[in-house]
Amino acid sequence: MFDPTVFDNLKVVIEGYIYDMDIDEQISVTDRSDIIDLAKMSRQYSIL
């Protein structure tokens, strides 16, 4: 199982940092995925 509150809080912090780096042109964000598997009660988030 996962704690959705902790996951969402960490995701927001990391996502903000990555998008700040994208604005500063240190990296380039081209895609992102936020996958929720309700059968297994799992979540996966990725930024490319």
Tens of pLDDT, residue by residue over 32-48, are 998 988 899 888 888 88
Per-residue confidence (pLDDT) for residue 2, from 0 to 100: 59
* Average pLDDT value over all residues in the chain: 87
pTM of the model: 0.68
- String of DSSP letters for 1-48: ---HHHHHHHHHHHHHHHHHHHHTTSS----EEEEEETTTTEEEEEE-
Domain count, the chain: 1
Structural domain span for residue 41: 4-47
Angle of CA points 4, 42, 30, to nearest 5° = 85
